[in-house]
Structure 1
Amino acid sequence: MGDWLQRNIVEPGKLPLLLALTALVLTFLITRVITRLIRAGKGPFGNISSAGGVHIHHVVPGVVLTVAGGFGAVASGRHGFGANAFAVVFGIGAGLVLDEFALILHLDDVYWTEAGRKSVEAVVLTAALVGLLLVGFSPFGVNDMSQDELQDRGSVLSTVVVNFLFSLAVLSKGKAQMAVFSVFIPFLGLVGLVRLARPDSPWARRFYRRRPRARARALLRAYRHDRRWIGPRRAVGDWLGGKTTAELARSAESAESAERK
């Protein structure tokens, strides 16, 4: 099966990457289904606790699987059954870890809070970047270079440095997601570079401090952007990760108010 996929579906050497990505996405989706069932008190699942009553988050087995899969993949090389098997183990571990990315970031159990949405964003961002690698994109625009240019170390180095600086500038403008994607699609870096910075970004604090018009335009654009996208982002977050505790409380209050009327 693996050889058939290697010959007909993916480029040589990329089957482990495809398996790892598939395992990551499926693990995240299955984990979210299980945690939502536990939260609702449905099904045979429950939280795992040690003998001392300590709640064991699934990031713990995730770290173990990620380490095992990573070292196993390095030891087995990029080809063969071993590489594919360890890629699946790594993907499962990465899915468990990223599902609790917000816990690691905040060092607090924020799974069902607004801050916990960062875990969903981390999984989506990781899956998108790995997908770009699978379809042939290379970091910093190296995939757009000809064979002659690739053999010229100076051309490769200058391309990487320029595109890296573009990504860094976009990041300083407070556009983290665009900066990450511009690593693989340099044109996005150019777009982010010419657009206004977020008003709370290092770029705005440095260059808009004595430019009140630019600062006002940045505030207005950020407000319009956030107002336009907050609804769709919340809907996607609810669908993938489940509603936050605050949202459920508001829904319950609204239902009670409607019943009283």
Structure 2
Amino acid sequence: MGDWWQRNIVEPGKLPLLIALTAFVLTFLITRVVTRLIRAGKGPFGNISAGGVHIHHVVPGVVLTVVGGFGAVASGGHGFGAAACAVVFGIGAGLLLDEFALVLHLDDVYWTEAGRKSVEAVVLTAALVGLVLVGFAPFGVNDLSDEELQDRGSVISTVVVNFLIALAVLSKGKIKLAVFGVIVPFVALFGLVRV
């Protein structure tokens, strides 16, 4: 386990991604607990308003995501700065995607059936980041041999074909299959031929 962890997770560049994913998932879970407590009228928490306007947690989420993202770019992806920016970005993304349905519908649908889209967006994001973290390369190019990787044309054509298939699946309204199809091309082909 230790050797696999060292080789696949802690290799250069992946630790900030692991930190961001951890902050993202923890923020989502904590935010869900706090919002349930607010709705039940329990605990020290309450809604935040400014000038009679309810401030949703998507607002600080956007700010933290922007700050963390630009900070990560500026830090170069290494050292304490990258880790700190990964935490800020993960927290911001967790707050933002927890209210994905609000952004999508431009309406406060948090506690409705439409509000489940937020949970789906968080689960989908966490799954995709987890796949990237453990070594899956988008578009299936991780299955190419060293000779094929040298041939840029085959890599580009593989990426373009897989992207077009995923785009066709997306046009059929199968969002989850299209997104996962970018990572695992067979999923996109399945979504394309399935009625």
TM-score using structure 1 length: 0.70
Q: Which residue of 2 aligns with 1:73?
A: 72
Q: Which residue of 2 aligns with 1:178?
A: 177
TM-score using structure 2 length: 0.93
Structure with bigger RCO (C-alpha 8 Å, 6+ apart): 2
Q: Which residue of 1 aligns with 2:60?
A: 61
Structure 1 stretches of 4+ with a deviation exceeding 4 A read: 5-9
Q: 1:86 to 1:170 in 2, by over 3 A?
A: same
Q: Which residue of 1 aligns with 2:40?
A: 40
* Structure 1 residues 216-231: aligned runs within 5 Å: none
1:23 equivalent to 2:23? Answer: yes
Q: CA deviation at 1:6?
A: 6.1
Q: CA deviation at 1:148?
A: 1.5
Distance 2:101 2:194 in 1: 29
**SS of residue matched to 2:107:** coil
Task: Kindly provide the amino acid, as one letter, of the partner of residue 30 in structure 2.
Answer: I
Query: Number of paired residues?
Result: 191
Q: Give yes or no for contact 1:6–1:15 (8 Å, CA) kept in 2.
A: no
1:110-152 CA-to-partner distances (Å, cap 9, x unmatched) read 1111111111111011101101100111111111111221111
Task: Kindly provide the amino acid, as one letter, of the partner of residue 47 in structure 2.
Answer: N
Q: Give yes or no for contact 1:6–1:12 (8 Å, CA) kept in 2.
A: no
For the aligned residue pairs, the C-alpha RMSD in angstroms reads 1.5
Query: Which segments of 5 or more consecutive residues in structure 1 lack a partner in the other structure?
Result: 197-261
Task: Kindly provide the amino acid, as one letter, of the partner of residue 110 in structure 1.
Answer: V
Q: Which residue of 2 aligns with 1:151?
A: 150
Task: Kindly provide the amino acid, as one letter, of the partner of residue 67 in structure 1.
Answer: V
1:96-123 CA-to-partner distances (Å, cap 9, x unmatched) read 0001111111111111111111111110
Query: Which segments of 5 or more consecutive residues in structure 2 lack a partner in the other structure?
Result: none
Larger radius of gyration: 1
Q: CA deviation at 1:172?
A: 2.4
Q: Give yes or no for contact 1:63–1:93 (8 Å, CA) kept in 2.
A: yes
Q: Which residue of 2 aligns with 1:245?
A: none
Q: Give yes or no for contact 1:70–1:86 (8 Å, CA) kept in 2.
A: yes
